[in-house]
Structure 1
Amino acid sequence: MIDEFKRFGMTDSQRKFTGILQIAGSAGLIAGLKMPGVGLLAAAGFTAMMLVAFIVRIKIKDNILQALPSIIFMLINGWLTVGFFKLW
């Protein structure tokens, strides 16, 4: 991942911050099973994160196959966002 973040033109601080956000988001999704509002925020945050990841992939001129995981995860988390919203 260190090499990938360098390829994306991102700093070590940005890489570490992304990792912290991913851990917090994962905990938020799990907590969302009992507290839908927390799950809603976590899923919405992941959706936004994956949108930014897709934009970065386009910016560095990756092909669609390389960008596909960010699109898929963005759609999954968008679906989770709607689901948590309905529960909230």
Structure 2
Amino acid sequence: MSIYSFCVFFSGVSFLGYGISYFVGTQMKNEFKRFQLEKLGLLVIVLEILGAIGLLVGFWFYKPLLLLSSGGLALLMFLGLVVRMRLKDSLWISLPAFFYMVLNGYIFYLGSNQ
């Protein structure tokens, strides 16, 4: 398995797990309340799940879907990072959003150059 393949699968599975956690627990809903974005929580989670599915399906069948999904997830994580900066969250707490922004930017970059 190439590094690119691993990155796509890692990101896709991570976002699927993150999305599912919104529906089975309260921690994610509490985070959106803390961000004062509880009305957008469901939309964000649906976009993340669609992005995850788009990464996985796009990897095998339709490359433009992979590019759209990775670009969308990178943008979503950038916006999440902005929200965390506005709340003055620590670097440690903001690190996952930064990591997934860079990871999906990397997937987008490599996918557009293949």
Do both proteins adopt the same fold according to a TM-score greater than 0.5, normalized to the shorter chain? yes
| Residue 25 (structure 1) shift | 0.4
| Residue 57 (structure 1) shift | 0.3
Deviations 1:64-83, CA, capped at 9 Å, x for gaps: 11111111111100000012
Unaligned runs of 5+ in 1: none
Aligned residues: 86
Deviations 1:39-67, CA, capped at 9 Å, x for gaps: 00000000000000000000011011111
Identity of aligned residues (%): 29
Q: 2:102 aligns with which of 67, 75, 79?
A: 75
| Residue 29 (structure 1) shift | 0.2
Unaligned runs of 5+ in 2: 1-27
Q: 1:21 aligns with which of 29, 44, 47?
A: 47
Q: Give the RMSD, CA atoms, in angstroms.
A: 0.9
| Residue 86 (structure 1) shift | 1.6
- 1:5 aligned partner: 32
The residue type equivalent to 1:25 in the other structure is G
- SS in structure 2 of the partner of residue 71 of structure 1: helix
